[in-house]
Amino acid sequence: MAPLRVLATSARTLSLLVTPPGTRYHLPRPIGWSLEEVGGGPVAQGTLKTAALFLGGLEPDRAYRLRCDLGTLDLRTAPCAGMIDAAEFGADPARADNAPALQEAIAATPLGGTLRLGPGRFESRPIFLKSAMTLLLDGAELAAVAGREDWPILPARDAAGRPLGSWEGLPEPCFAALVTAQDAHDLTITGRGIIDGGGDRGDWWSWPKETRQGARRPRTLHLAYCDRASISGVTIRNSPSWTVHPYRCRDLTVAALRIENPPESPNTDGLNPESCEDVRIEGVAISVGDDCIAIKAGKRAPGQTDHLAPTRGLTIANCLMERGHGAVVLGSEMSGGIHDVTIRACDFDRTDRGIRLKTRRGRGGEISNLKVEDVVMRGVPTPLAVNAFYFCDPDGKDGWVQSRAPAPVDDTTPRIRDISLRRIEARGVEIAAAALLGLPEAPVTGIEISDFRVSFAEGAKAAAPLMTLGCPEMRHAAVWAEFAEITGALTPAPPQEEDLTPC
């Protein structure tokens, strides 16, 4: 793969990936760079320490050239049909709610145009974006108001019967996200700005599994049925629940992003692509209160299957996952199927688990063709966890779910197959390097381990690696498996002069 590559392009920003040999999220060494306009003069310069380089303050439809130690790369920004400044429509940091002004500005933005939100902190209730527009946060902080008064609610289904609001894989009414888009194509969200979901204000984090006013908690950014969308450059933080939730989207790029939620915030997953196809997540740093990236495909329920659709064709590369419950998680809502996922050149730092697959009887669906390559995990107690007895939902601990006796096989039987892990390094493992528990009626198959190097943490205490009944506690286990077929082996990691401090 080329060491210099464009990830996302807008009229005024560019996101690049710089990957000399040995790069994961951070570069092996800092690299100086400069940007010039072709036929003009210098534009910007700096020193890059991470793989993702975000460039802002550019002009539309202009040719630029990036120079660095790795060579040169010719770039061109996208054309723009016109820029609207939100301030012209009354957006003002002094306003208690900027949603009316922002919605008026969105309506006035021409197709192929840009809506600019300039420096300042703009409090707002949810706004709804449209097709063929760019939302440029040019030093702005878009922050949710504190409180649920007059907050719009998305219905479980739209007028055509399509799922719209959703909660843990089922159609349910939900408070709208601060930034919401439905049926929007060619949508761009970009800039050196902040989107603050307001989870630390109001009461959102005090009712994690409940409903209020007949609705579930909101996301911070929700894209539903959107094609050819991109999100780049911004920081998204303090989400009331899941942070970025793409649902039924195609051809989505997420680049050079930062997602931050407090460690104690409930169910604040970082990025949850659900029933999406062709998604690229590159150069993203995530530190949250739950799973960093959780890949979903809906949840089967009695009489409810029409909302299920697969997630297929995801790439996660050169990302940093910190402190969440899982670094990259597949499931547990996977009834529509999750297929063809590649995770490469990433750092996992102090997440409870590294790669985590979870499902249970009654879900149906299949997880297949997962490839994990060139990943380093530091301070991750269980680097690989595969669990087909996950005890989620009110009946999750019932006998029919948790029994280790073979059950009849039907369309509610979940399956897991074809998983490969290559060139993995896990340092400071406490519980088990790999723990796999399949169903006796549908064992996990096709697990391949190659060049998986492990070192164990001193002073570790025994604990269960999987959230299921009857799982033994263990300490410093290599591979623990039941109803799973595995080829390959673990090897000791070579000694290195590094500790388990953040990457």
At residue 105, the 3 state secondary structure works out as helix
| Superfamily in which the 4-76 domain is placed by CATH | Immunoglobulins (2.60.40.10)
- For the beta carbon of residue 293, count every other beta carbon within 10 angstroms: 28
Q: Which two tokens stand for residue 22?
A: 């040995």
Contacts of 100 (CB under 8 A, 6+ apart): 90
| Superfamily in which the 182-214+227-492 domain is placed by CATH | Single-stranded right-handed beta-helix, Pectin lyase-like (2.160.20.10)
- For the beta carbon of residue 1, count every other beta carbon within 10 angstroms: 8
pLDDT tens track, the chain, 503 positions: 789 999 999 999 999 999 999 999 999 999 999 999 999 999 999 999 999 999 999 999 999 999 999 999 999 999 999 999 999 999 999 999 999 999 999 999 999 999 999 999 999 999 999 999 999 999 999 999 999 999 999 999 999 999 999 999 999 999 999 999 999 999 999 999 999 999 999 899 999 999 999 999 999 999 999 999 999 999 999 999 999 999 999 999 999 999 999 999 999 999 999 999 999 999 999 999 999 999 999 999 998 999 999 999 999 999 999 999 999 999 999 999 999 999 999 999 999 999 999 999 999 999 999 999 999 999 999 999 999 999 999 999 999 999 999 999 999 999 999 999 999 999 999 999 999 999 999 999 999 999 999 999 999 999 999 999 999 999 999 999 999 999 998 888 876 644 443 33
Q: CA-CA distance, 132 to 140, in Å (whole number)?
A: 21
CB 139 within 8 A of CB 194: no
Q: CA-CA distance, 366 to 416, in Å (whole number)?
A: 6
Q: What does the DSSP 8-state code read for residue 363?
A: -
Q: What are phi and psi of 379, to 5 degrees?
A: 65, 30
Q: Which two tokens stand for residue 409?
A: 């096989």
For 173-247, list the strands marked E by DSSP: 174-175, 179-182, 188-190, 194-196, 221-224, 227-232, 235-237, 244-247
- For the beta carbon of residue 259, count every other beta carbon within 10 angstroms: 28
CB 317 within 8 A of CB 281: yes
- Residue ranges, comma separated, of all CATH 2.60.40.10 domains in the chain are 4-76
Task: Give me Rg for the CA atoms of the chain.
Answer: 23
pTM, to two decimals: 0.97
Catalytic positions are: 290, 325
- Residue ranges, comma separated, of all CATH 2.160.20.10 domains in the chain are 182-214+227-492
Which among 309, 319, 374 is positioned nearest to 339, based on CA atoms? 309
Q: CA-CA distance, 311 to 258, in Å (whole number)?
A: 23
